[in-house]
């Protein structure tokens, strides 16, 4: 029997501890084995495919298969409980139709389903709506990258103790959840929001003010340019479809350490950040396999995969600029879908 997990069901169990552990496990599992940093988990993750929907730009289907072996997840009963080991075969099908939000009846740009297979028989065992899952796991990859590539350069406790200014460039689906999640995880002193359509940044600011604890002390500013948003930022999350650079080196603060989560731009992942930033930065990716195919022409060498840094602790230096070039990878989807499935399978959810 093939189980179907609807968007509502998935949304009910998505929590940050569950997703962050699954994403961190996926980032580590895809790292090639190295005797200096042994890891029991592993992954087979071939390059994903892109199929254009006709000749118009901005309409694509991606197929994203992965097998992730012997990786750890949080117990769905209690995030503090012993972690369980899993192996998962999955394939995500995701479309990116960048005009969707402008339709008369707006739809998300990114829409996905994850197919899960039985490890023993290869039979399809579940189909899971994967749109929110994709948003959450992408934001989670930025959170994990920020933890290891930014905070850890200042010490083991920095993510709990250090005050930061965050800039969000692009307040679409990704930008909105990045803003909320960064405020939920870190001590955000100032949150600067920029969007091409100003009202979208204003709406997000309004929503966040309702949600955020008044005691949090986060000052939210709606900015009229990416430059204004980024000037004092320690962390920048950029997630648009812009084919032209929106941020330049001159927009960043100097010699104090800046981390950029470069999330967007559709197929050309590095077009929204100017080459002069790449040339000054250390660039990290989620996986080399996708980078080989999708980052051709990247204006800087790749320093490492984020998973390598999690394993070996070679963090950037304090004053450096780091970029997490996030492409998204199938192993993240496989691990998060497994975690969601485990949470939805708890006996108390189905008492009869």
Ligand X SMILES: O=C(O)C1=NCCCC1
Of residues 88 and 174, the one with the C-beta less far from ligand NAI: 174
Q: How far is 137 from 328, CA to CA, in rounded Å?
A: 8
Least Å distance, CB 70 to ligand NAI, is 24
Residues between 117 and 136 that touch ligand NAI (CB under 6 A) = 134
Per CB under 6 A, the segment of 47-55, 147-155, 257-265, 298-306 that binds ligand NAI is 257-265
265 binds ligand NAI (CB under 6 A): yes
Q: How far is 27 from 43, CA to CA, in rounded Å?
A: 10
Least Å distance, CB 225 to ligand NAI, is 11
- Answer for the pair 149, 306: CB distance below 8 angstroms, yes or no: yes
The C-alpha R_g of the chain, in whole angstroms, comes to 19
Per CB under 6 A, the segment of 117-125, 261-269, 274-282, 299-307 that binds ligand NAI is 261-269
Of residues 76 and 294, the one with the C-beta less far from ligand NAI: 294
327 binds ligand NAI (CB under 6 A): yes
229 binds ligand NAI (CB under 6 A): no
Q: How far is 176 from 239, CA to CA, in rounded Å?
A: 10
110 binds ligand X (CB under 6 A): yes
Of residues 170 and 266, the one with the C-beta less far from ligand X: 266
Q: How far is 189 from 25, CA to CA, in rounded Å?
A: 30
Could you say which of 25, 95, 165, 242 contacts ligand NAI (CB under 6 A)?
242
Could you say which of 88, 134, 192, 240 contacts ligand X (CB under 6 A)?
134
Of residues 195 and 338, the one with the C-beta less far from ligand NAI: 195
Least Å distance, CB 226 to ligand X, is 21
Of residues 94 and 337, the one with the C-beta less far from ligand X: 94
| Residue 152 binding target from ligand X, ligand NAI, none, CB below 5 to 8 Å by type | none
328 binds ligand X (CB under 6 A): yes
175 binds ligand X (CB under 6 A): no
Residues between 58 and 117 that touch ligand NAI (CB under 6 A) = 96, 101, 109-110
Of residues 28 and 62, the one with the C-beta less far from ligand X: 62
Number of residues lying near ligand X (CB under 6 A):
7
Number of residues lying near ligand NAI (CB under 6 A):
28
Least Å distance, CB 351 to ligand X, is 35
- Answer for the pair 274, 268: CB distance below 8 angstroms, yes or no: no
Q: How far is 336 from 341, CA to CA, in rounded Å?
A: 8
- Answer for the pair 31, 308: CB distance below 8 angstroms, yes or no: yes
| Residue 240 binding target from ligand X, ligand NAI, none, CB below 5 to 8 Å by type | ligand NAI
138 binds ligand NAI (CB under 6 A): yes
Interface positions with ligand NAI (CB under 6 A): 96, 101, 109-110, 134, 138, 170-175, 195-197, 200, 239-242, 246, 263-266, 326-328
Interface positions with ligand X (CB under 6 A): 62, 94, 96, 110, 134, 266, 328
């Amino acid at each position: 029997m093939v189980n179907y997990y609807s968007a509502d069901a998935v949304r009910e169990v998505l929590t940050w501890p569950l997703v962050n552990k699954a994403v961190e496990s996926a980032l580590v599992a895809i790292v090639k084995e190295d005797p200096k940093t042994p890891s029991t988990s592993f992954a087979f993750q071939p390059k994903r495919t892109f199929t254009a929907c006709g000749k118009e730009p901005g309409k694509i289907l991606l197929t994203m298969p992965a097998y992730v072996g012997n990786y750890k997840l949080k117990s769905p009963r209690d995030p503090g409980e012993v972690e369980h080991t899993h192996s998962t075969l999955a394939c995500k099908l995701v479309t990116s139709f960048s005009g969707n939000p402008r339709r008369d009846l707006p739809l998300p740009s990114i829409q996905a389903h994850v197919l899960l297979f039985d490890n023993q028989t290869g039979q399809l065992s579940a189909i899971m709506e994967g749109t929110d899952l994709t948003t959450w796991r992408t934001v989670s990859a930025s959170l994990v990258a920020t933890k290891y590539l930014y905070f850890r350069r200042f010490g083991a406790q920095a993510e709990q103790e250090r005050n930061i200014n965050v800039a969000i460039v692009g307040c679409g689906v990704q930008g909105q959840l990045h803003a909320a999640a960064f405020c939920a995880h870190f001590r955000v002193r100032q949150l600067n929001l920029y969007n091409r359509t100003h009202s979208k940044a204003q709406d997000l600011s309004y929503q966040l003010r309702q949600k955020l604890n008044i005691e949090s002390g986060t000052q939210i500013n709606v900015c009229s340019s990416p430059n204004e948003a980024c000037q004092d930022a320690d962390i920048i999350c950029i997630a648009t479809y812009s084919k032209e650079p929106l941020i330049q080196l001159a927009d960043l603060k100097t010699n104090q350490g800046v981390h950029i989560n470069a999330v967007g731009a559709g197929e050309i992942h590095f077009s929204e950040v100017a080459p002069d930033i790449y040339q000054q930065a250390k660039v990290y990716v989620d996986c080399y396999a996708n980078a080989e195919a999708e980052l051709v022409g990247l204006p800087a060498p790749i320093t490492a995969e984020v998973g390598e840094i999690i394993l070996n602790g070679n963090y950037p230096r304090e004053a450096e600029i780091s970029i997490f070039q996030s492409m998204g990878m199938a192993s993240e989807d496989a691990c998060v879908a497994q975690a969601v499935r485990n949470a939805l399978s708890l006996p108390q959810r189905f008492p009869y």
